[in-house]
Every structure is written in C-alpha cells, then in structure tokens.
Chains A and B, each alone.
Chain A
Amino acid sequence: MVPACDEVAELVAVAIDGALPTRLEAHVETCERCTDLLREATQLGDAIKDAADDYRHAPDFEERLLAALDPDGVEPTRRMRRFSALPQPGRS
C-alpha cells in the first residue's frame, strides 16, 4: 500500500462525503484499492442506517414519557440534575 492509500484510509469518513483533498482525489481515481475502499465504505454507511430500520418506535412512547415526568409536580432537585448519565464537557 502506497502512502497515499494510507492517507485515504485515514480520511475515509471524509472521503465518502466527497470532501477529500484534491491531491488524494486524484490518487483515488487511479487506485483500484482506494476505489474499492470508498465504494465499500459508502455502502457500509448506508447499511448501518438500514440496520436500524427494524427498530419500531412505540406509539405510546411520548405518552409514557410524559406520565413519568415530574409525576408529583416536584421540580428537579439539585441531586437529580447531576444525573450521572449526562455528558460532561470534555469527557467522553
């Protein structure tokens, strides 16, 4: 694999959005390996979306959620606001 192939692989997520640097686009046009990689990566992106299509959103999802919200009319407490699942800036 030539260095340009490594660069294309590193930027594959950008490449399938059509935002590859011109220099690398020129390389892809002449490289069968990179062409295959981008084609398969594009197909994978579509397939990931398709794979979620089996999810069926419950018709009563919002109704159940609203029923669970604040059932006693109590405002969220400080402790509740610090729920551990919340994303913290700068932390993954």
Chain B
Amino acid sequence: MGIMRGKAAAFEVDEVFDDLELDDDELEPEDLRRSSFAVSGERLAASVQETRLAALMLEGDAHGAIALAARMFGPAIGRVCFLLLGSQSEADEAAQETFLAAYHGVSSYRGEGAPRAWFYGIARRICTQRLSARLRQSRRMFLLDRDQHGLDASALHDRAERDAHLRRALEELPADDRELLALRYDAEQSFRDIALALGIDEAAARKRVGRALIRLRGKLRVA
C-alpha cells in the first residue's frame, strides 16, 4: 500500500495523505468481513473514509490509519477533550495522546464498532486519567485553576457567557456524566457507539445520557 514508515524528519504530510487516497478495490474483502461496523452498513454509506480507516486498522497499518484518523476527526476528538478537561492546552495534549495511544494499540481494534467510537473511547480514558491525576496532585490547586480561568461575565457577549456557564456546570457533574454528554451532544455518537465505548448496553446508554442531561439541568437551575 506504500504508506510511509520512515523517520519523522522525512515525513511530508501531503505525501502521506496522498498515499491514503485508495481505490475502493484496494480494500481487502476479508478486512471488511471482519468489521461488523462495515458489514452492518449503518455508517458505510455515510462514510467511505471511515470504512477505509477500518480496513487500514484491521490490516495493522498503524501509521496510515492514525494519519487518516487524525485528519478525519482530530478536531472532533479535541472538542470532546476540551469539554471533558476545560482547558485548550490540555485538550490539545490529550488529543495528541489519544492518537499516539491508538497508534500503539491499533491491533486491539476488532471492527466491533465504528473506528470513530474506538477513538472516542481512548480519548475519554485519557481524559479520565488526566482528571484523576489532577485531583490526586492537588484538589486545592484544581479549584484555584478554575478560579484563574473564571470569566468576567460583564466583558463577554451573551453567547460566550452562556457557553462558559455551561462548561462550569459540566465541570461540576460527575466525570461519567460529562463523558456521556460530550459523546452524545458534541461528538454526536449514536447510543450504540456510546455503549461500545463505555462497555455498557445500548438501553443503559440511553438512560444514562438522559439522567446526565437531567443532572446538568439541575446544576444550571441552582447556579
């Protein structure tokens, strides 16, 4: 397939991506059969690129897969990390870590769900680890950090003020709730994909997202 595997200094990003412009007939039927995501057809029609990504992952082309994945949904992963961590710089780092972890673990993808959901699963775990470390290091520092980033409402437009208010309310929710809401309403993941990412069944995912919404509504009402 000719995906570049050379040293970092030799990378030409465009070349890497040009290499990924595969013809459909380059996809191995066996790879597609192994992917229930592809076989289900649910998202196949919606995203040929994601099917290509699934094939690259299943054939173990870690470099090609991660390069394509970063192009396809790097920004979306970053947004979810931003919602979970509340910090632009941490979100960038967490998103980078997500793709690096995926690179080293691409062989663990079994095609059981959409690649996008698999990446979100890694992102939420990375963010959870970061939040745990943050709390372990110093709960007090965490609170100070939040204060330092407190926004002067009088200097903001309504929209920015509302967004910041909502992010503060999200921060007050349990991490699980925050993850569910970010995956569902920002990443627009299906309940099925959320269930796969969290290792729960689909009905439980629906109920837990609903309960998280109601708890968020409660936080905003008392704020």
Residues on A lying within 8 angstroms of B by beta carbon are: 9-15, 37, 40-41, 44-58, 61-73, 76, 80-83, 85-92
Return B62 CB to nearest CB of chain A, in Å: 6
Contacts of B99 in A (CB 8 A): 65
Contacts of A68 in B (CB 8 A): 8, 96, 100
- Partner of B108 from the list A48, A65, A81 (CB cut-off 8 Å) is A81
Contacts of B118 in A (CB 8 A): 87
Return A87 CB to nearest CB of chain B, in Å: 4
Contacts of A67 in B (CB 8 A): 8-9, 11
Contacts of B125 in A (CB 8 A): 85-87
Question: What 0/1 pattern do residues 118 to 144 of B give for CB contact below 8 A with A?
Answer: 100110011001000000000000000
State whether the Cβ of B37 lies closer than 8 Å to any Cβ in chain A: no
Contacts of B92 in A (CB 8 A): 58, 61
Using A47-B163, A51-B166 as known contacts, say yes or no to A90 and B199 having CB atoms under 8 A apart: yes
Q: Is the CB of A63 within 8 A of B166?
A: no
Secondary structure of the B side of the interface? Answer: helix
Q: Is the CB of A87 within 8 A of B199?
A: yes
Residues on B lying within 8 angstroms of A by beta carbon are: 5-9, 11, 13, 16, 62-63, 66-67, 70-71, 74-75, 78-80, 82-83, 88, 91-92, 95-108, 110, 112, 118, 121-122, 125-126, 129, 159-160, 162-164, 166-167, 170, 176, 181-182, 184-186, 191, 197-200, 206-207, 209-211, 213-214, 216-217, 220
- Partner of B197 from the list A55, A58, A87 (CB cut-off 8 Å) is A87
* Chain B residue at minimum C-beta to C-beta distance from A43: B217
Q: Is the CB of B96 within 8 A of A49?
A: no
Q: Is the CB of B213 within 8 A of A41?
A: yes
Q: Is the CB of A71 within 8 A of B105?
A: no
Cα A61 to Cα B99 in complex, Å, equals 11
Contacts of B176 in A (CB 8 A): 92
Cα A51 to Cα B31 in complex, Å, equals 38
Contacts of A89 in B (CB 8 A): 110, 112, 199
Using A61-B92, A85-B125 as known contacts, say yes or no to A44 and B216 having CB atoms under 8 A apart: yes
Using A51-B170, A83-B105 as known contacts, say yes or no to A45 and B74 having CB atoms under 8 A apart: no
Contacts of A40 in B (CB 8 A): 217
Return A63 CB to nearest CB of chain B, in Å: 6
Query: What are 21 pairs between A and B in contact, CB < 8 Å?
Result: A44-B217, A48-B186, A50-B159, A50-B162, A51-B170, A52-B182, A65-B67, A65-B99, A66-B70, A68-B96, A69-B66, A70-B8, A71-B7, A72-B7, A80-B104, A80-B105, A83-B101, A83-B105, A85-B105, A85-B126, A90-B199
Cα A71 to Cα B79 in complex, Å, equals 27
Contacts of B129 in A (CB 8 A): 85
Contacts of B6 in A (CB 8 A): 73
